[in-house]
Amino acid sequence: MKINENTLLDGHKVVLVPYNAEHVPRYHEWMKSPELQQLTASEPLTLEQEYDMQRSWREESDKCTFIILDKQQWADTSVEEEQCMVGDVNLFLTDPTDLSLAELEVMIAEPSYRGKGIGKEVTRMMMCYGVTKLGIQKFQAKIGLDNQVSISMFKKLHFQQVSVCHVFREVTLELTVDEPVRMRLLDDMAFMKERDYRQTCSNRQELVSQ
């Protein structure tokens, strides 16, 4: 999607930035992990295919993605952005006849960053962006039956299990954004700021001094 090509979402522990070509080598390294391939139901890609994928995420209007950066680390201008990468978060508009429905995916690729509240923070940030900027009214998450951590996280975020597919060994959870859900989300995420990515890149240190 073009809409977020210069958007930075500023959270407590993380910032979300558009997925750029400079992120691809690290992303490609992550996706060589059999554990991540299994947990995210992904096929390994060549580096060239990964660059094509990055371009398609940027160009195609049914996909919105952000790279998750460690905010504290990124605020240190001596650290390369690629070194601050923690994972990614995506929205897919899966039904061309209903642009208010989005499938949500999150990956904290760096194991040392898991279990620290980052998955929950990022998921809520993306939901808030989806609701306010893309008009999403229903979120879906498709998760491997064995991925109890992810299932538990989405249930904590008030998603309800709607179906189980034993053939693909996955569950589908959903959250409809009615008015109380919307109000709670906006309230919980009142700290999140939307900024100009390129401008913030040149003043990174200011993010943690505000």
Ligand X SMILES: CC(C)(COP(=O)(O)OP(=O)(O)OC[C@H]1O[C@@H](n2cnc3c(N)ncnc32)[C@H](O)[C@@H]1OP(=O)(O)O)[C@@H](O)C(=O)NCCC(=O)NCCS
| x/- track of binding to ligand X for residues 92-111 (CB under 6 A) | -------------xxxx---
Closest chain position to ligand X (CB): 119
Q: Where are the alpha helices (DSSP H) in 34-178?
A: 34-39, 47-59, 71-74, 118-134, 148-156
Cα separation, 164 vs 141, in Å, equals: 12
Which residue in 40, 54, 65, 200 binds ligand X (CB under 6 A)?
40
Q: What are 134's two structure tokens?
A: 């893309």
Give every CB contact of residue 49 below 8 A, 6+ residues apart in sequence.
none
120 binds ligand X (CB under 6 A): yes
Nearest CB to ligand X, comparing residues 89 and 200? 89
Q: Is 156 in the site for ligand X (CB under 6 A)?
A: yes
- Does residue 116 bind ligand X (CB under 6 A)? yes
Among 143, 173, 177, 189, binds ligand X (CB under 6 A): 143
147 forms part of the interface with ligand X (CB under 6 A) = yes
- CA-CA-CA-CA torsion sign (9, 101, 154, 158): positive
d(CA 174, CA 162): 7
Minimum distance between the CB of residue 198 and ligand X, rounded to whole angstroms? 28
